[in-house]
A and B are shown apart, each in its own frame.
Chain A
Amino acid sequence: MSLLQTNNVVKRFGGLVAVNKMTFSVDEGHIVSIIGPNGAGKTTFFNSLTGIYKPEEGEILFKDHSLIGLRPDQVSARGISRTFQNIRLFGSMSVIENILVGMHIRLKQNALDALFRSKKFNEEEKDAEQKASALMEYVGLKNVGNELARNLPYGGQRRIEIARALAANPTLLLLDEPTAGMNPNETEDAIKLFRRIRDEKGITILLIEHDMRVVMGISEYISVMDYGEKIAEGTPQEIRKNQRVIEAYLGRDAASSKD
């Protein structure tokens, strides 16, 4: 049974059809990748799933409930967490606070608890802090809990973003080019981390990725987008051999020397 199912999702910007009739699904417990040339509409598709954009047409079902019309915070509460292509941390908050913000929907305290420092509040805060520490450890961050997030190196910031997304206890984790800008060692670590997240925490992962080693290495299933449309899908072996995919990539490459 599929955890996420979209039917004919369309997102337009004026005359530009950024996402065109995307019909797509992610099975529970899988690692699924979306690939495609620059400007194919991958990020726009993510934004449509998470409520940041409102798609003009189509249907989005998550655990068989429609996500259409929900605000991003409501989508997040349903169990979808994400990271961003260009890292979006809360730069002048500490690393641990960034992760605590990720726990927002899980925390039960209200303003009065905070004002009177009720027992419930103190216990919850302590527990949250411990969980956040554990998450830092989990994504491989050490002794940086009190640093400001913006002071961490690039790789570290990517890790915080993942920890922050995990803090919400999601069922589905959306990662938008999580290894962009990483060196080969860091990429290797990241691949291991994604596998662990799926294997140990049982979280389904949907990622957008340009790095073919990552994509081919960890995905069970791959969808390929070009000009807003899904042009192919299948296992890594199938995608590798798919003529349309090769054309989409080579065609682009020949026209404009890519990247």
Chain B
Amino acid sequence: MKTFFSELFKKANSGFWPIVITLGFLIVGTISVYQSPRSLSAFLTLMLCPLLLYFMKINMKIKIFIGLLLIIVILPVLGIRNIFYLEVIFQMAVFAALALGLNIVIGMAGLLDLGYVAFYAVGAYTWAIFGSKQLSLLHSIPGAAPAGAEFTLSPTYFWLFLFLGVGLAALAGILLGLPVLRLRGDYLAIVTLGFGEVIRVLALNLDKPLNLTNGPQGITPIQRPPLPPEFIIGPIRTLLTPIVGRPPTDAEFYNVFFYFIALFIIMIAIMVATRLEDSRIGRAWTAIREDETAAIAMGIPLVRMKLAAFAAGASFAGAMGVLYSANRTFVSPETFSFLQSIGVLTMVILGGLGSIPGVIFGASAVVILNIQVLQNFSLYLSELRQSDAVIPIINFAWKDLSNQLDPAKYQKLVFGIILVLMMIFRPSGLIPAERRKRELVEEKE
């Protein structure tokens, strides 16, 4: 059976087949999403395209062309028809960046960090505090905002804070790194878990004596970066009107805008991760993961390299934190729970520890599973509940099904199942890490 499939895959991945199959999925996917913007299967068909593009043997230039077509034209246009898709892709990009960052710490350097979401929080609160009215509310009681409070900074500062968020998160990474340098394995996991909670509890309680974080209620509204000027948006609006069937609104443009910012950041994150991996620093990280004693005996300064791993990993989360708070216009401590850290860890393990394409895939798969598949399943169940249908043999009426049984609430279960199954059946992930093959000029006899 296994050989049958691999034979089939080999056949499908030679000659003109790859391009035919990929284009086929692209066209069928695009049309079906366009026709029925709410269908999950249509969206999944379209989402297979990036995967096919990655795996199929296609000329690199054609690959890039199809990829750009999908990213720059097809997805935004379809996204305006169903805003939800842009949200899905936005989340995919955010979590892919988080997974890439965590992958540096866990996957490459082998440092089990269970409090990774803390750095995401640092980024998010950085912009939340400065990009909202919070600074003029420092002395007021949380929740009782006086009228007429002003935004402290203009929204254009968002771009500056994107960098500041990266820097502050990296700094937080170093602060976490310093005390845990001597710890390994389980001990490291427990301390980092604690660190994650400390940051969350700080966010929860820093509403007194100075109201910095507004406590459990969180900070809102947070400003968004201004849309590009009218001379860019105008023509696009005219272009899109016939396709969408009406002129897109500013709110819809904002979704596309954030989608592009997220894509831009994720591209940079991928580039940074791949380039670091394939350099002296990346090799040092992997060496530390493989054998600390041997690594240090080879001249690798353990302290500096571990701190660098924590800082680099954290910086990815910092950037996405800033973006997230602007996108939601709201942050609260709840977002940065331990469960989020486990979620990102699940993505990394599902995709493959240490594997850059793997963790991106893992992040995308978990996001789709969480906010689409489970949601759809919930919807389906609640429809059944409202109908008169019964489960045949056991004669159980759907409407008697408990409301507790809402799959959308089963994130934790899903994370747990994924982690356990992966550990048993595929510990190296769905797209395992591979070492780069070098073309070596080895001398002949």
Partner-B contacts on A (CB < 8 A): 50, 52, 71-73, 76-77, 81-82, 84, 88-94, 96-97, 100-102, 104-105, 107, 109, 111, 113-115, 117, 121, 125, 129-130, 133, 136-137, 142-143, 145-146, 148, 164, 168
CA distance A125 to B278 in the complex (A): 10
The reply to whether B287 and A101 contact each other, CB–CB distance below 8 Å, is yes
B442 A117 Cβ-Cβ under 8 A:
no
Judge whether B438 and A111 touch: CB under 8 Å: no
Contact partner, B435, options A89, A97, A129, Cβ 8 Å: A97
**A183 CB, nearest partner CB in chain B, Å:** 23
Query: A52, A72, A113, A129 — which one has the most chain B CB atoms within 10 A of its CB?
Result: A72
Known: A52-B297, A93-B286. A73 touches B291 (CB 8 A): no
Q: Which residues of B contact A115 (CB under 8 A)?
A: 271-272, 275-276
Decide yes or no: A89 and B291 within 8 Å by CB, A73-B299, A133-B441 being known contacts: yes
Chain B residues near A133 (CB-CB < 8 A): 440-442
A84 to B271, CA, bound (A): 36
B interface residues, tally (CB under 8 Å): 35
Q: Which residues of the partner chain A approach B199 to less than 8 Å between Cβ atoms?
A: none
Q: How many Å lie between the Cα of A74 and that of B276 in the bound state?
A: 24
Bitwise, B277-300 to A at CB < 8 A (1) or not (0) is 011111110110011011111111
B437 in contact (CB, < 8 A)? yes
Name B297's contact: one of A72, A121, A145 (CB within 8 Å).
Answer: A72
A97 CB contacts on chain B under 8 angstroms? 283, 286, 435
Chain B residues within an 8 Å CB radius of A96? 438, 440
Interchain CB contact (< 8 A) of A88 among B271, B293, B308: B293
Smallest Cβ-Cβ distance to A87: which chain B residue: B294
Contact B287 A90 (CB under 8 A): yes
Which of chain A's residues have a CB closer than 8 A to the CB of B271?
A: 115
With the chains together, A125 CA to B280 CA distance in Å?
9
Known A-B contacts A109-B280, A114-B276, A115-B276; A146 and B441 likewise in contact (beta carbons under 8 Å):
no
With a CB–CB cut-off of 8 A, which chain A residues contact B275? 114-115, 117
Report if B210 contacts A (CB, 8 A).
no
**At the interface, yes or no: B77 with Cβ under 8 Å from chain A?**
no
Q: Do residues B295 and A50 form an inter-chain contact, with CB atoms below 8 A? A: no
Chain A CB within 8 A of B301 CB: yes
Q: How far is the CA of A133 from the CA of B278 in the complex (A)?
A: 17
Task: Determine if B430 is an interface residue (Cβ-Cβ < 8 Å).
Answer: no
From A77, A90, A107, A117, B294 is in contact (CB under 8 Å) with A90
Residue of A with least CB distance to B268: A115
Q: Which residues of A contact B272 (CB under 8 A)?
A: 115
Among A88, A101, A121, the one with the most B-chain Cβ atoms within 10 Å of its Cβ is: A101
B442's partner among A81, A142, A148, A164 (CB-CB below 8 A) is: A142
CA distance A251 to B437 in the complex (A): 53
Contacts of A129 in B (CB 8 A): 438, 440
B302 close to chain A: CB less than 8 A: yes
Which of A52, A72, A100, A143 is close to B283, meaning CB atoms less than 8 Å apart? A100
How near does chain B come to A136, taking the closest CB pair, in angstroms? 7
B177 to chain A, nearest CB (A): 16
Partner pick for B290 among A77, A91, A146, CB 8 A cutoff = A91
Q: How close is A186's CB to chain B, nearest CB, in angstroms?
A: 19
Report chain A residues within 8 Å CB of B442.
133, 136-137, 142-143, 145
Is B443's CB within 8 Å of the partner chain A?
Answer: yes
Interface residues as binary, B428-445 with A (CB distance below 8 Å gives 1, 0 otherwise): 000001011110111100
Q: Is the CB of B280 within 8 A of A72?
A: no
> What residues of B have a CB within 8 angstroms of the CB of A92 in the complex?
286, 290, 433, 435
Shortest CB-to-CB span from A42 to chain B, Å, is: 16
Most B Cβ at <10 Å: residue of A52, A111, A133, A146? A111
Contact of A90 with B290 at beta-carbon distance under 8 Å, contacts A101-B300, A111-B308, A114-B280 already known: yes
Residue in B281, B290, B294, B441 whose CB lies within 8 Å of A84: B294
Shortest A173–chain B CB gap in Å is 12
Taking A50-B297, A111-B279 as given, write out 8 further A-B residue pairs in contact, using a Cβ cutoff of 8 Å, ordered by the A residue number: A71-B296, A84-B293, A90-B291, A104-B283, A104-B284, A133-B441, A142-B442, A146-B438
Q: Are B286 and A137 in contact (CB under 8 A)?
A: no
| B287–A94 CB distance below 8 A | no
Tell me the nearest residue of chain B to A84, going by C-beta.
B294
Contacting residue for A137 out of B279, B283, B291, B443, CB 8 A: B443
Could you show 10 A-B contacts with beta carbons less than 8 Å apart? A72-B297, A76-B299, A77-B299, A90-B291, A94-B438, A100-B283, A101-B298, A102-B298, A105-B299, A137-B442
A145 CB, nearest partner CB in chain B, Å? 4
Complex partner residue of A111 from B281, B286, B433, CB under 8 angstroms: B281
Q: Across the interface, which residues of A come within 8 angstroms of B281, CB to CB?
A: 111, 114
In the complex, what distance in Å separates the CA atom of A80 from the CA atom of B244?
Answer: 69
* Chain B positions within 8 Å of A114 at CB level: 275-276, 278-282
Instruction: Looking at the assembled complex, report how far the CB atom of B12 sits from the nearest CB atom of chain A, in whole angstroms.
Output: 27
Closest to A111 in B: B281
Q: A73 touches which one: B286, B301, B433 (CB < 8 A)?
A: B301
Contact of A107 among B280, B290, B308, B435 (CB under 8 A): B280
- CB within 8 Å of A: which of B199-231? none
Contacts of B276 in A (CB 8 A): 111, 114-115
Given A93-B435, A109-B279, A121-B279: A82 and B297 interface contact (C-beta under 8 Å): yes
Quick check: B290 and A93 within 8 Å, CB to CB? yes
Considering the complex, give the chain A residue whose CB is closest to the CB of B301.
A73
Please report the C-alpha to C-alpha distance between residue A9 and residue B283 in the assembled complex, in whole angstroms: 35
Cα–Cα, bound, A91→B435 (Å): 11
Q: A107 to chain B: which residues have CB within 8 Å?
A: 280
Residues of B within 8 Å of A130, CB to CB, are 441
| B288-327, CB < 8 A from A | 290-291, 293-302, 308
Contact A164/B298 with A101-B283, A104-B284 known, Cβ cut-off 8 Å: yes
CB neighbours (8 Å) of A100 from chain B are 280, 283
In angstroms, Cα B294 to Cα A90, docked, is 8
List residues of chain B with CB within 8 A of the CB of A77: 299
